[in-house]
Structure formats: structure tokens, C-alpha cells
């Protein structure tokens, strides 16, 4: 592999120091392992906080945390959900983890990766994840396969995705508890904080690590109507989209804020606040709030400009001395949090981890914000909803001072924080240097040739694997199938599922048009359901009607084997038993009507007989 100088000598020294420190720290009886709660919200931008200058939003508890924390003011993530989460969990740039998209299996964290939870668990911590995972929904990609003892979350992508429980709308939803669906009363933000507090209550006699990742204010921004009331009459510019409006956005964030206050009060009441590290950050720029306040930045979620990837990051730890208002303006990123926690929590080095961490420990800056901080290069692609990445397309190469976008636009972020002036012609040497860094990075990783992530079928770890249309590899990239709305509309996408068969033998396939919890016949339409208790854009939500597909036959192809069978109108699924060899293969299923029109089946349930 080529040396990109992304892992600088300073970075390597820091890695050596914390690995040596972790190997000796267990002998230090005076050190009491701190608890860690890592809180990440979804689609909340830098400007979606009162403490950052937003004049309208109500976030008193986050403002208090801000006032009692070390704040990294130039902190960067990816521009989309899953790539940020992959980098956060591994300390490695998302491209290395093979995560570059939010859907169609390219959001699955490569099974060879070592996660933050793996480090904590190996070091004697109880580990829990509550909320949005978005890094894989079948074995070996689930939180329970990646170092977490306890997991309560939504379908892998979010509310209303094809792999979420059908009809979830944020109120009284079904959640995956360690891989099994369970109905839980309440608003989903409240549920995730409830589960966090319950986990602490059971674990508080031993150190714990919690990854609490809300899926708000990501759309659909469904809220109870009364939560919008405090934003009525305010003179801000409204923006209305199908998944919510500005009042829904602010109300969603305020609900998170209230729960953060509740969690901190619980920690104080149980004398856990002193030695608990709370880290707060968000996963990308704002999706819907930049029209109100964006702290002078250009861009929003999905953008290559700073508004897409510069986010809040607060670190609060009274026992460590990080409980006063301190700003650190050094160029830092999500990949730095894992090495920081390895360092300050004295986590064990994992012998099985031979993957180089791209991040560097922030501990020197936490102890002394004036510490010399060597510059470095970070590279991100922003290529969502594609199968394979394309060289030179939608790329950013950035340093403390420079932002190179698509190799043809260069911005001096120190002189031009709003990124209004392209100075590429004035600094051709900088453009050439950063372009070379990118070319070397691409040549090293060969991202257009990444293997498909494959759920493993027939293991003791997951009795039945659930294949659904968010995990297709599609023939036509313009036809989408990742959301329940696409399933409702009967979108005629054609795709296959890459899988791995764990052992030779017979396997049972149940191919369906609707998921099991709907349990409708293959050919049936889905009637519109009753109003929900919550609202979007101030209006009650109806569960939408779904198109009927007049299915008369179902075809299943696994590897080279093809089976076709006729189905009656009353059958909810077509069942097949196929003898399969062990190894990697592809699964594809079609729904066929009486005129021979065919489209891929949206769901298939597979288990070893």
C-alpha cells in the first residue's frame, strides 16, 4: 500500500503512547474507569442549537451541557448518516470501512472492522446501543454482532424504511431488542432514553459504555401537535417539505433536549455524573434548518461544503476536568473519538485488530487546548445511493485551512468561512498537492472494486434472515425501493440479494410482496389505515394505501438454481425448499402477473431446515 502521509509521525507516536498506556493502565489501582455515554442526533446541524446562536430554537439542556464542556468548534464528520457512523465506530475514514451509502447494502460495516463497542467490551465494560444503527440489519452486521451487550433500535435505515417494522411512525412503535421485534409504548426519542436509563440502572455497579443515537430530527419529523405550540407565532422563515416543516424540526430537537436534561438529572441523582463522560455530536449538517441559521456556513446535509459536515462536538467529564466552557479550534473529526476514548479510558488493545486507525487522540488538546496540533488531510466521498463509487466524483479533500472540492474548487476556510470565493487558480500548487493525496488514496483503496457485504444464512446467531428491498443490488439505479413508500407504490425495481450460505443443506425461503407483520396475500392491496396520534406539518398522519400486484406466479433464483410456482390469490407467500452448497451466492425473487409482467419481490425470509 502507498504511504499517504495521512497517518503522520505525530499520529503514530500518539498511537504508540496510548497502546503502551493501555497495556499498563490495568495495573494502576488508582484509576477508576469512567462511564461513557456517546450521544449522536440525526440530521441536526451546527446551527440547530441555541448555544451556537440560533435565535429561535429552544435547547436549554444542550445549552447547559455546552456551558459545562470542552467544545471542538472545527469538528467534521461525513455528509450522510451511515458513513459518519462507520467512521465514528472504527476511527477509520468511512471509505476504508466499505461504507459509502445509506442504502442498498453499501451502508453495511465490513465484518472485519473492529468497533468502539468491541474495545469497551474487551476492557470490562457493559455495552449498550439504543437508537439508530444504520450499519447492517442481519448477522454479522447488527449491533449485537459488533460488541454490544444490549441493543434496542429501529429498522436499520430509519422510520419508514423497507427494513423498519411496517407502519412505525415514532409513536408506540415496534423496536428490535437484540434482534427480536417488540412493541414499546411512547415516542421513540423517549423510548431510547428510557432504555438508556434502564440499562444504566442494571449496569451502574460496573463501568458502562452507551451509544445513544436518536433518529431525530431526521424525517419524517413526526411530533405530537402540542410540541409545536412553543414555536407558534415566531418570526422565522418557514420551510415545508413532505417529511415535516420547520416547527416539526425544532420540536423534534427540543424533545431530544428535554431527554438529555432528564438523563443528566438521573446521573446526578445516582451520583454517576462525576465520572461519566458525555460526548454529544451530530451525524451531518442540518437537513432542514439552514434557512433559519447556519452560522455563516455554506451547504447542508449531503453537501461538500462545510455546512454538510462541520457539526457540534462537546466533551463533558467532571472527574477528568472537562466540565468548564473551553473552546478548541483545531481541525478535528469523528475518527478521533475512538483513539481518544482508548486513551482516556485506558481501554485494552485488541490483538485481533490489525487495521490502522486514521484518527488521533484528542487527549493532548483536552488537557491543553494550546497544544501543537499537526495538520493532516481528510478525504470524503459524497456518493449516496450508488452501488460502486466513482473516482473524482463528489469528493472533498480538506485540511485545517483548505477545502478542495472535486479537484476544481479550492477554498481558504480561514479567510473565507462562507466558501464564496474559489481560489483554485491562485493556488495551483495546493490543488495539485491535495489532488495527488486523493489519487493515492483512491489507488490504495480501489473503492470501485469493493466486495458486496453479505448476510450469513444458516448460523446459530440468527435463525431467520430477513431480506428486504433496501438491501437489493438494483439493475436500474433510477428506480428506488429503499422506503416503505416505494413498496406501497409497487415500484418495479429489479434487484438481487448478495448472501453467504454458512453450511451445505436444505434452506427454506418464504417470498412475499408484504412483510410478515402485514400478513396480506401476495396479490392484495393494502388499505389505508387510521390516523396516527402524531402529526407532520401540523396535520394528522394517515398510514398510506398500498397498490395491489396481481401475482399469479413467483420465481426464485439462488445461484444457478431456478424454481417457479403458481400461487393462489389468498396465499401470503410462496414457500420453497432448496438444497444449497456453502459459500457466497446471489438470491433473486420475482412476482409475476397473469400477463407475464414481472418485478422483484420486496421481502424474503430464509432459514436452514
Share of the chain above pLDDT 90, in %: 88
Q: How far is CA 78 from CA 153, 355, 443, in A?
A: 22, 20, 21
pLDDT at 101 over 60: yes
Residues 18-32: b if buried by 16+ CB within 10 A, e if exposed: beebbeebeeeeeee
Report angle CA 533, 534, 535 to the nearest 5 degrees.
130
pLDDT tens by residue, 459-486: 999 999 999 999 999 999 899 999 999 9
Which H helix or E strand runs over 203?
helix 188-203
Each domain of the chain, given as residue ranges in start order, spans: 9-371, 390-449, 456-608
pLDDT at 7 over 70: no
pLDDT at 312 over 90: yes
Q: How many CA atoms lie within 13 A of 254 on its CB side?
A: 18
Residue 201, phi-psi category: left (phi > 0), alpha (psi -120 to 50), beta (remainder) = alpha
What is the Cα 342 distance to its own chain's centre? 21
Mean pLDDT within 334-350: 94
For residues 418 and 296, the answer to whether their CB atoms sit within 8 Å is yes
Tell me, yes or no, if the two domains 9-371 and 456-608 fold the same way.
no
If you average pLDDT over every residue of the chain, what do you get?
A: 93
- CATH class for the region spanning 456-608: mainly beta
pLDDT score for 10 = 38
Q: How many CA atoms lie within 13 A of 20 on its CB side?
A: 6
| Confidence label for 307 from pLDDT (cuts 50, 70 and 90) | very high
* Total residues found in the chain within this entry: 609
Q: What is the pTM of this model?
A: 0.94
Helix, coil or strand: residue 599: strand
Q: How many CA atoms lie within 13 A of 32 on its CB side?
A: 10
Which H helix or E strand runs over 12?
helix 9-25
| Confidence label for 355 from pLDDT (cuts 50, 70 and 90) | confident
Q: Closest Cα partner for 523 from 541, 491, 505, 550?
A: 550
pLDDT tens by residue, 554-569: 999 999 999 999 999 7
Contact partners, residue 444, CB within 8 Å, separation at least 6: 1, 2, 4
pLDDT score for 353 = 67
| Confidence label for 175 from pLDDT (cuts 50, 70 and 90) | very high
How far does the chain reach from its first CA to its final CA, in angstroms? 44
For 531-592, the DSSP string reads EEEEEETTEEEEPPPB----EEEEEEEETTEEEEEE--TT-S-EEEEEEE-SEEEEEEEEEE
Hey, which residues does 409 pair with through a beta bridge? 405
Hey, which residues does 510 pair with through a beta bridge? 575, 605
Give the three cell numbers for residue 144: 449485537
For residues 108 and 351, the answer to whether their CB atoms sit within 8 Å is no
User: 3.40.720.10, 3.40.50.1110, 3.30.465.10, 1.10.3720.10: which CATH number matches 9-371?
Assistant: 3.40.720.10
pLDDT at 5 over 80: no
pLDDT score for 351 = 65
| Confidence label for 22 from pLDDT (cuts 50, 70 and 90) | very low
pLDDT tens by residue, 487-521: 999 999 999 999 999 999 999 999 999 999 999 99
Share of the chain above pLDDT 70, in %: 95
Q: What is the C-alpha to C-alpha distance for residues 16 and 19, in angstroms, rounded to an integer?
A: 5
Amino acid at each position: 500500500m502507498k504511504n499517504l502521509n495521512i497517518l503522520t509521525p505525530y499520529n503514530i507516536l500518539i498511537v504508540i503512547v496510548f497502546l503502551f498506556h493501555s497495556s499498563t493502565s490495568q495495573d494502576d489501582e488508582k484509576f477508576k474507569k469512567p462511564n461513557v455515554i456517546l450521544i449522536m442526533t440525526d440530521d441536526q446541524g451546527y446551527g440547530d442549537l441555541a448555544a451556537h446562536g440560533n435565535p429561535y430554537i429552544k435547547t436549554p439542556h444542550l445549552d447547559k451541557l455546552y456551558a459545562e464542556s470542552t467544545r471542538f468548534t472545527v469538528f467534521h464528520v461525513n455528509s450522510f448518516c451511515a458513513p459518519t457512523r462507520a467512521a465514528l465506530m472504527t476511527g477509520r475514514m468511512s471509505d476504508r470501512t466499505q461504507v459509502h451509502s445509506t442504502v442498498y447494502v453499501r451502508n453495511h460495516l465490513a465484518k472485519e472492522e473492529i468497533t468502539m463497542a468491541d474495545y469497551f467490551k474487551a476492557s470490562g465494560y457493559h455495552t449498550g446501543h439504543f437508537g439508530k444503527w444504520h450499519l447492517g440489519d442481519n448477522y454479522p452486521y447488527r449491533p449485537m454482532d459488533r460488541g454490544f451487550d444490549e441493543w434496542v433500535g429501529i429498522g436499520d435505515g430509519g422510520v419508514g424504511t423497507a427494513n423498519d417494522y411496517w407502519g412505525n411512525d415514532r409513536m408506540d412503535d415496534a423496536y428490535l431488542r437484540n434482534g427480536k421485534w417488540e412493541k414499546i409504548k411512547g415516542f421513540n426519542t423517549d423510548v431510547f432514553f428510557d432504555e438508556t436509563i434502564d440499562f444504566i440502572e442494571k449496569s451502574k455497579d460496573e463501568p458502562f459504555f452507551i451509544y445513544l443515537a436518536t433518529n431525530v430530527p431526521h424525517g419524517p419529523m413526526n411530533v405530537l401537535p402540542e410540541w409545536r405550540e412553543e414555536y407558534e407565532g415566531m418570526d422565522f422563515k418557514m420551510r415545508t417539505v413532505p417529511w415535516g416543516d420547520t416547527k416539526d424540526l425544532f420540536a423534534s430537537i427540543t424533545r431530544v433536549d428535554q431527554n438529555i436534561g432528564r438523563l443528566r438529572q438521573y446521573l446526578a441523582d445516582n451520583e454517576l455524573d462525576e465520572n461519566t463522560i458525555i460526548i454529544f455530536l451530530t451525524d451531518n449538517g442540518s437537513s432542514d434548518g439552514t434557512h433559519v441559521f447556519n452560522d455563516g456556513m455554506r451547504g447542508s446535509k449531503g453537501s461538500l461544503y462545510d455546512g454538510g459536515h462541520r457539526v457540534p462536538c462537546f466533551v463533558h467529564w467532571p472527574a477528568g476536568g472537562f466540565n468548564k466552557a473551553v473552546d478548541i479550534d483545531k481541525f478535528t473529526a469523528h475518527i478521533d473519538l475512538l483513539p481518544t476514548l482508548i486513551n482516556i479510558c485506558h481501554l485494552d488493545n485488541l490483538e485481533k485488530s490489525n487495521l490502522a486507525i486514521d484518527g488521533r487522540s484528542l487527549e493532548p488538546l483536552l488537557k491543553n487546548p494550546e497544544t501543537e496540533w499537526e495538520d493532516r488531510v481528510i478525504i470524503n466521498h459524497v456518493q449516496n445511493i450508488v452501488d460502486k463509487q466513482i473516482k473524482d466524483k463528489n469528493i472533498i479533500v480538506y485540511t485545517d485551512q483548505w477545502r478542495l472540492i472535486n479537484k476544481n474548487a479550492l477554498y481558504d476556510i480561514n479567510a473565507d468561512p462562507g466558501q464564496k470565493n474559489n481560489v483554485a487558480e491562485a493556488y495551483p500548487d495546493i490543488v495539485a498537492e491535495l489532488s495527488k493525496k486523493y489519487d493515492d488514496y483512491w489507488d490504495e483503496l480501489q473503492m470501485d472494486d469493493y466486495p458486496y457485504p453479505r448476510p450469513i444464512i444458516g448460523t446459530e446467531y440468527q435463525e431467520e434472515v430477513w431480506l428486504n428491498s433496501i438491501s437489493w443490488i438494483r439493475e436500474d439505479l433510477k428506480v428506488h425501493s429503499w422506503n416503505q413508500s416505494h413498496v406501497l407504490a409497487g415500484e418495479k425495481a429489479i434487484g438481487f440479494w448478495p448472501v453467504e450460505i454458512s453450511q451445505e443443506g436444505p434452506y427454506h425461503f418464504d417470498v412475499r410482496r408484504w412483510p410478515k407483520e402485514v400478513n396480506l396475500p401476495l396479490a392484495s392491496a393494502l388499505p389505508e389505515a387510521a390516523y396516527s396520534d402524531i402529526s407532520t406539518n401540523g396535520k394528522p398522519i394517515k398510514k398510506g394505501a398500498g397498490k395491489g400486484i396481481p401475482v399469479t406466479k413467483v420465481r426464485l433464483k439462488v445461484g444457478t438454481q431456478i424454481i417457479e410456482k403458481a400461487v393462489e390469490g389468498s396465499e401470503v407467500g410462496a414457500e420453497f425448499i432448496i438444497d444449497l452448497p456453502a459459500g457466497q451466492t446471489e438470491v433473486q425473487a420475482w412476482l409475476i402477473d397473469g400477463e407475464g409482467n414481472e418485478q422483484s419481490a420486496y421481502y424474503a425470509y430464509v432459514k436452514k431446515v
